[in-house]
Structures are given as structure tokens and as C-alpha cells.
Amino acid sequence: VDNNQLAHRLSALVGDAHVLTDPALKASYETDFTGRFTGRSRLVVRPADTEQVAGIVGLCRAEGIPLVPQGGNTGLVGASVPTGTEIVLSLGRLTEIGPVDEAARQVTVGAGVPLAEVQRRVRPYGLAFGVDLAARDSATIGGMIATNAGGERVVRYGTTRANVAGLEAVLPDGSVLSRLTGLPKDNTGYDLTGLLVGSEGTLAVLTRARLRLVPIQPRRVTALLALPSIEQAITALTAVRALESLELAEFFLPEGLSLVMAQTGLPAPFGAEYPVYLLVECAGRQDPTEELAEVLDDADILDMAVAVQASDRHRLAAYRDRHTESINAEGIPLKLDVTLPLDEVAGFVRDLPDLLPKRVRPILFGHLAEGNLHVNLLDVASSDEDAVSETVLRRVAAAGGSISAEHGIGRAKAHYLSLSRSPAEIAAMRAVKAALDPTGILSPGTLLP
């Protein structure tokens, strides 16, 4: 079918207003927010519900038209960006939120609901979704599930996978899988929900999710610690891990802090610059300030800022949270989201500059509790990108790390998958893909090269 016929048939399913063919209207769906990944789509289609999604997928399957599901388009590995032949299937209109089940502590939400909206909706019940991340205003639940997003609270609540109790999804043949009862015990065969979490749009189009919720911990303390080294930051981390109230342990370095201050106008957090910064937050029913101070008593802390009021806490968190936008303001970074065993982190940080061409500026920050480093590289010549990626990712794999901690494989790392997965694992993944999507219409080029 040519584009006109396709647009016409899709309009019959979703209405004219929700089939976008004008290049100006399509543009924001065709580039990721860093500007690194960009491509053309045949058109963008915006269904309103699961039935419409099933209709679109069925049509694409029958006509052999590839499609790329897209949520908030905040992904960082190119998985939601088309390459020319696909249509973009935007889930942004699937925004229904069901009643909050206080007894089960669950809620069912549409794939297109932004994370911040879920939090707003469940807060009056004293509940929260355990996964939180800086892109909360745009990132959608469907996209977070498709990538098994991690974010800043993994140390306490786990990744998205641990916080999803069930899913509804449209398979490539147009059939609908629905598992939304959220039963905490349900051993009836293969865990299809678990399989679809982190499948990056390659196995199904996610349409609704049953989310687990956690009780809000009302008393909070945030501390920004200045430390002499990564080793000392890990020692401090080990100390705060003794606390059940620990909710967040994020690190950043002076290079990143300078960019954030230049971009945001925030004042320096301390009178001097220090080698490493660790942001920790504890939360509980009782004020955790004292227990935090207690466990940090022996740590080698050079300086420290502590905040209890929400506005002060947010000010400290901003030094960490505003890294991504501040790096972007400098240019399009090469982003390598990796994770290392904790005892390998310091060595990696030390070795990294020697692995890079001289002009490259590495900006490192991330989720220290998981050894998850966001390696952002500025000023990488485009002719060097592949070599630099491969060198850094090989170094990570050699240290027993993973080439993707939380952003996924997408298009960016598909060619490096074998650094983190064995031939037997990749063969099993290919077999699953072939069984569910035999003609390969869903997100071609993502995850499995």
C-alpha cells in the first residue's frame, strides 16, 4: 500500500486527526530528545485504546509494514525512533487511570500515562510508584516498562520489573494478551509479563499495566556529601546501606557539577571543589536524619549539606538531576549507560580518560548503589564513535559489568549485544522474537541486530 492508502485505512481506525503525515507534525516523533537519533517515518498514528492498537498492528502485519511503538520518546538508545520505512505508533493517548486499589496497593494505568501523572494520582492515598527518574514529566509508563527503567530509587524498590504486577499488550498478530488482575501469587506457567518488561518494543505493543504501589514515607532527609575519592564514596555507601530508610545514592563528579552550575545558574554547593559528590536520601515514618548522621560518623567526608524541607531537598537533588539537560546544552553526547561490580567502579573511572581520544570530555554520574555509571562523552568525532563505544564497552564487559544498566540496547548497542550476552542467550532471544513476531514488523533493528 502506498502512503495515501495507508493513511486512509488508518484514519478509518483512529480518525483523521490522529494520523500525522505532515513532516512538521511528525518531526517531534522522529528525533530523540538528545538529537542523536533521528530518522523518517512513513506516518505517525495515535490510537486511543487497545482495540485501535490491535487494529493498527493487525493491518501492519497483513501489509508487512514495520512499526515502532513510542511512549514519551525520552529513551536514550534510539529504540523509539524510526529509520525510514516504519510508522510510529504513539501510545500517548492511552491515558486512562483506573481506581486505586488501596488494599492490594495497585492501580491499572494506560501505557501513555506519564510517570509524574501516576504519582499525582496515587499520592492522596498515601501511595507512590516506586520507580522515579529525572524524565518523570514526559516518560510514560509504557516506555518505562518496555525499557525496564531503573532510575533513582532502585536501591530501595528495584527496577520497573519489580513494580509491575501485570500487563495488557497487543502481539504482532493483533491478538491481545491481558493479565491485569495483579494477583501476587499466580504460578500458571511462563511469566509473559516478565518477558515483555524490557523487551524494548520488539515483542509486543504495551497498552496497559497493573502497577504495584508503595506507601509514601513521610519523613525525609537529603544529604550531599563531598568525598575524597570513589573508594571513599563506596565506603560511605556501604555505611548508609545499613539503613532500611535508604532510598537514593547518586554520585557525580566536579566536571558534571560545573556544567550544571553553568547551565542552571545554581550556586556552588560548597566553598571548594571536591573529587566526588554523593547524594543520599533516606525516608521513613520517623525522621531519619539522626540515623543517617550516625552511620556516616566514621566516613571520610570532606564537606556535607543536609536538607529536610522539600524545597531545600529539591535544590540539592537538582545538582544531580539536571546533569542530562546540562550536558545536552554543551552538544550531543555519546551516551554509554553501563554497570560495573562495585569494586570495579573506581578503577574504571580512573582508566577511562586513557581509553578515549584526547579531545573527548567524559562526564560521569549515576546510580552508585547499582554501580550504574552514565558515561556521557562530549566532543567525540563522528568517525570515532564506533571505536570509542566499542573500547569502553569492552572494558566494561572485561570487568564483569553490563553494557546496558537501565537504558536498554535499542539501536545504539545492538551490535555490541554479544559483549554482555552469550551465543546461547542470543539464540534463545532470537527464538522468542521469531515465535512472536515471525515477520519482524516490530521495531526492526532494535535489540537484536
Residues that bind ligand 2HG (CB under 6 A): 134, 324, 335, 374, 376
- C-alpha distances out from residue 30 to 82, 112, 259, 343, Å: 6, 17, 28, 40
C-alpha span between 141 and 206 (Å, rounded): 9
Which is closer to ligand 2HG, CB of 374 or CB of 413?
A: 374
CB of 441 to ligand 2HG, least distance (A): 29
Rounded to an integer, what distance in angstroms lies between the CA atom of residue 166 and that of residue 191?
Answer: 10
Nearer to ligand 2HG, 107 or 133 (CB): 133
Greatest Cα pair distance in the chain: 70
Q: Which residue has the cell 536520601?
A: 281
For ligand 2HG, which is the closer residue by CB, 32 or 86? 32
Minimum gap (Å) between residue 405 Cβ and ligand 2HG: 9
Residue 437 C-beta: closest distance to ligand 2HG, Å: 28
Residue closer to ligand 2HG (CB basis): 50 or 324? 324
Q: Treating both helix axes as pointing N-terminal to C-terminal, what angle do 3-14 and 50-63 enclose, rounded to 10 degrees?
A: 160
Considering the complex, what minimum distance in angstroms separates the CB of residue 374 from ligand 2HG?
Answer: 4
List phi, psi (to 5°) of 17: -65, -15
Q: Which is nearer to ligand 2HG, 140 or 376 (CB)?
A: 376
The closest of 168, 190, 164 to 178, measured between CA atoms, is: 168
Nearer to ligand 2HG, 217 or 328 (CB): 328
Nearer to ligand 2HG, 92 or 151 (CB): 151
Q: How far is CA 94 from CA 61, 81, 123, 182, in A?
A: 21, 19, 21, 20
Alpha carbon distance 205, 111 (integer Å):
9
Its sign, for the CA torsion 431, 432, 437, 440, is negative
Give whichever of 108 and 140 is closer to ligand 2HG, judged by the CB atom: 140
Q: CA-to-CA distance for 343 and 213, rounded, in angstroms?
A: 33
- Whether residue 248 contacts residue 152, with contact meaning beta carbons closer than 8 Å, is answered with yes
**147, 179 contact by CB (below 8 A):** no
Measured between alpha carbons, how far is 216 from 108 in angstroms, rounded to an integer? 19
Residue 92 Cβ vs ligand 2HG, minimum distance, rounded to whole Å? 21
Q: How far is the CB of 274 from ligand 2HG (least distance, A)?
A: 21
Q: For ligand 2HG, which is the closer residue by CB, 108 or 324? A: 324
Complex with ligand 2HG: residue 134 or 177, whichever CB lies closer: 134
| CA–CA dist 239, 291 (Å, integer) | 11
- Whichever of 134 and 397 has its CB closer to ligand 2HG, that residue is 134
Least distance CB 401 / ligand 2HG (angstroms): 16
Least distance CB 176 / ligand 2HG (angstroms) = 31
Distance (Å) of CA 189 to CA 53, 170, 186, 192: 26, 19, 9, 9
Shortest Å, Cβ 408 to ligand 2HG: 11
Query: What's the closest the beta carbon of residue 152 comes to ligand 2HG, in angstroms?
Result: 7
Q: How far is the CB of 366 from ligand 2HG (least distance, A)?
A: 6
